[in-house]
């Protein structure tokens, strides 16, 4: 312990003797470490934020909407997805695990005995929560009996409860009206999303059978069983392309268009989106990691210079140590230890600075960011920084340490 303390003292004496050069070298190393951790931490914040947003929709979902077709006469012909499409997808698409359809409208007014509110009203099926994320805060989900018997029941979002039942009121088992039709609230969803993103929390969910009966989709030549969207999950996320091909074939046959015509189908594959986001940020991590390693390697050049100066100034001391019996390996180890202490202190300062900055940035961001989580120290990046720093420190000290260990005691003692 005493030897280590002496070495640390010698290191800091050498640093103090060449303050500017030592400061610039240590600053370069600390800056490289901090930049590496900060950039990767911010990239991971974007990655986790995007993944969280996708997961707030549900796991491995492919969404499909109705589209517009070009007829042989050159006219545009819109089509809507239907319950028939959904039923055939369920029975004729072997790669599809779960499928659900819903009908939504944003022009329906909700009213309680206390207050009125606007928001999206969605007619959903009983299996909707198995496909889409709809965490329940209290009460129950809509069930098959609600669908079959066309019960006038509803599950409302958390913000809808706050608006319709102000002053901390509990909306569970209370009644609301939607465009004059009376519904009993049987469930209240948990808050979905973060910060001010509250559109999903101002939804009202009612049985799809009721929605299609009393609030059907508006427009001409629209089937009674028309849906706003059909959304499904493949058994295996890696077979999302096969699942989409099967679903497109079914919908194309029902609506008379070419399933290979991309313009005729509007869809969003969240699996593909997540894979793309992952590839982008992985490439960013590799690039930023490479930049950080190069920065640290350049910092090693400064360590070489400092250690060469140290060896030069301590030539007589090294000669005296060797004259008193110090071996080449002990001299080599001492110089190497000095270089590692130097790089270690710089690395510690860089990691600590990055952690403090990211912590302050996270506090400033709070919980109001959309698509971006606060940056944080990523364990593998910290391990990469310390591993690279240690390697650079060792390599940077090899030549100065070897030079010191090869000094002859007599020649060293003659050195002025």
**Per residue in 184-212, pLDDT tens?**
999 999 987 655 566 788 999 999 999 99
Give me the pLDDT at residue 326, please. Answer: 64
Please give the model's pTM, rounded to 2 decimal places: 0.71
CA 314 to CA 102: how far, in whole Å? 80
Q: Which helix (H) or strand (E) holds 142?
A: none
Per-residue pLDDT of 124-145, as tens digits, reads 999 999 999 889 999 999 999 9
| Distance from C-alpha of 24 to C-alpha of 323, rounded to nearest angstrom | 35
| End-to-end alpha carbon distance in the chain | 32
Whole-angstrom distance, CA of residue 412 vs CA of residue 415:
5
**Which residue's entry shows tokens 């009202």?**
204
Highest-pLDDT range among 64-73, 220-229, 277-286: 220-229
pLDDT band of 284, cuts 50, 70, 90: confident
Adjacent-strand bridge partners of 234: 96
- Res. 6: pLDDT tops 70: no
Task: Please list, in sequence order, all residues whose beta carbon lies within 8 angstroms of the beta carbon of residue 156, skipping any fewer than 6 positions away.
Answer: 164, 171, 176, 185, 187, 188, 189, 203, 204, 205
| Per-residue burial over 301-340, b = 16 or more CB atoms within 10 Å of its CB, e = otherwise | ebbbebbebbbeebbeebbebbeeebeeeebbebbbbbbb
Collapsed DSSP state (helix, strand, coil) of residue 326: coil
Closest CA to 222 of 83, 362, 24: 83
Q: d(Cα 389, Cα 33) in Å, to the nearest integer?
A: 8
Sign of CA dihedral 41, 46, 50, 56: positive
Pick from 118, 78, 86: nearest CA to 102: 86
Task: Tell me if 371 sits within 8 A of 282, measured CB to CB.
Answer: no
Distance CA 255, CA 244 (A): 16
When pLDDT is averaged across residues 58-72 and rounded to a whole number, the result is 82
* pLDDT digit string, tens, across residues 12-25: 666 676 677 777 77
pLDDT at 153: 96
CA distance 117 to 180: 13
Residue-wise pLDDT for 354-402, tens only, equals: 888 888 877 776 655 556 777 777 777 777 777 777 777 677 667 666 6
d(CA 124, CA 119): 15
- pLDDT (mean) for 94-118: 92
Please report how the helices 270-313 and 379-405 are oriented relative to each other, as an axis angle in degrees rounded to 10: 20
Q: Which residue has the higher pLDDT, 45 or 300?
A: 45
- Identify the pLDDT of residue 310: 66
Size of the chain in residues: 416
Residues of the chain with pLDDT > 90, as a percent, come to 32
What phi, psi does 104 have (nearest 5°)? Answer: -130, 150
Tokens of 197: 């993103």
């Amino acid at each position: 312990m005493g030897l280590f303390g002496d070495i640390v003292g010698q290191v800091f004496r050498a640093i103090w003797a060449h303050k500017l050069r030592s400061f610039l070298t240590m600053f370069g190393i600390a800056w490289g470490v901090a930049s590496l951790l900060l950039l990767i931490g911010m990239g991971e914040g974007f990655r986790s934020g995007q993944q969280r947003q996708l997961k707030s929709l549900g796991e491995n979902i492919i969404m499909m909407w109705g589209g517009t077709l070009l007829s042989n006469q050159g006219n545009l012909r819109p089509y809507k997805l239907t319950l028939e499409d959904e039923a055939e997808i369920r029975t004729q698409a072997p790669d599809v695990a779960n499928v659900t359809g819903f009908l939504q409208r944003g022009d329906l007014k909700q009213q309680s005995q206390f207050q009125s509110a606007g928001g999206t009203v969605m007619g959903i099926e009983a299996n909707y929560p198995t496909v889409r994320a709809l965490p329940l805060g209290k009460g129950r989900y809509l069930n098959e009996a609600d669908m079959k018997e066309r019960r006038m029941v509803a599950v409302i979002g958390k913000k809808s409860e706050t608006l319709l039942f102000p002053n901390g009121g509990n909306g569970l088992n209370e009644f609301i009206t939607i465009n004059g039709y009376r519904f009993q609230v049987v469930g209240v969803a948990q808050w979905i999303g973060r910060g001010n993103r509250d559109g999903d929390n101002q939804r009202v969910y009612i049985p799809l059978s009721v929605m299609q009966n009393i609030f059907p989709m508006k427009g001409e030549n629209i089937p009674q069983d028309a849906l706003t969207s059909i959304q499904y999950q493949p058994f295996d996320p890696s077979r999302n392309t096969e699942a989409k091909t099967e679903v497109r074939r079914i919908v194309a046959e029902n609506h008379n268009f070419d399933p290979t015509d991309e313009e005729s189908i509007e869809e969003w594959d969240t699996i593909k989106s997540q894979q793309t986001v992952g590839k982008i940020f992985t490439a960013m991590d590799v690039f930023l990691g490479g930049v950080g390693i190069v920065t640290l390697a350049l910092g090693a050049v400064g360590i070489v210079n400092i250690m060469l100066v140290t060896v030069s100034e301590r030539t007589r001391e090294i000669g005296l140590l060797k004259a008193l019996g110090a071996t080449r390996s002990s001299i080599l180890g001492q110089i190497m230890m000095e270089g590692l202490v130097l790089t270690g202190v710089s690395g510690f300062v860089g990691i600590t600075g990055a952690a403090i900055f990211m912590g302050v940035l996270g506090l400033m961001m709070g919980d109001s960011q959309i698509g971006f989580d606060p940056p944080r120290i990523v364990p593998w990046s910290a391990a990469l920084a310390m591993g690279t720093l240690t390697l650079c420190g060792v390599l940077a000290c090899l030549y100065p340490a070897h030079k010191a260990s090869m000094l002859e005691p007599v020649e060293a003692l003659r050195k002025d």
